[in-house]
Amino acid sequence: MVKKGLLRFVSFPGDVIGYFALFFIWLFLGEMSKLKLDFWVCLKPETWFVRTLYKKYRGTAFCHGGILFVSKEQEALVVKHESVHVEQFEVIQLFCFFGFLVSLGVSVFSHSHYPWIFSLAFWSLSWLLVNLSSAIVALLRDENPYRGSSLEEAAYAIVDEYTRKKEGNVSRGIK
């Protein structure tokens, strides 16, 4: 429980932004998920957002929550996939938290108040910047910005492994 609390603490700035966005998505486009997860919103199929912009997607993670648009059969796989993104979010937030601490130390010793403010902004928006950077790198490699993103490649690889194990086709992996 202490470890989970620590991850929540270092993820706080990103969670604030993500939960703020999820609140409005829930308010106008969806309903609370029946899953025993943090703050996940199930999108209503009749909304314009699902019919137009989101029709190709099944889930999106925002901080420790996200949005889902899946059938019951797909739910386990999509939640597994999006859970990988939640873990990636926690790693990004922890890394930026350390950067914030260093910046705060520099601010204290240099008697300047500006470095920690910029660092706090970077800490808060880091998960967006990493996702954008990953998409740009995929484009530079002439790959699809979504499926070529290293974050998505990792999530799909884990889901593929999960599916193989579930079907009894256990892979040996790399040794």
pLDDT over 90, % of the chain: 26
d(CA 141, CA 119): 30
pTM above 0.85, yes or no: no
pLDDT given for residue 33 in this prediction: 82
Which two three-digit tokens encode residue 6?
A: 């620590």
**How does the average pLDDT of the chain come out, rounded?**
85
Q: What is the pLDDT of residues 105-145, one digit of tens each?
A: 887 788 777 777 778 888 888 888 899 999 999 999 999 99
**Between 99 and 172, residue with greater pLDDT:** 99
d(CA 4, CA 131): 23
Extract long-range pairs of 17-26: CB within 8 Å, 24+ residues apart.
17/63, 17/124, 17/125, 18/62, 18/63, 18/64, 18/65, 18/127, 19/62, 19/63, 19/65, 21/62, 22/62, 22/63, 22/65, 22/66, 22/67, 25/67
Confidence of residue 36 (pLDDT cuts 50, 70, 90): low
pLDDT at 62 over 80: yes
CA distances from 152 to 6, 82, 87, 105, 120 (A): 26, 10, 12, 35, 26
Segment 51-62 mean pLDDT: 87
Confidence of residue 173 (pLDDT cuts 50, 70, 90): very low
User: What is the CA 39 to chain-centroid distance, rounded?
Assistant: 12
Q: How many residues does the chain have?
A: 175
Contacts of 36 (CB under 8 A, 6+ apart): none
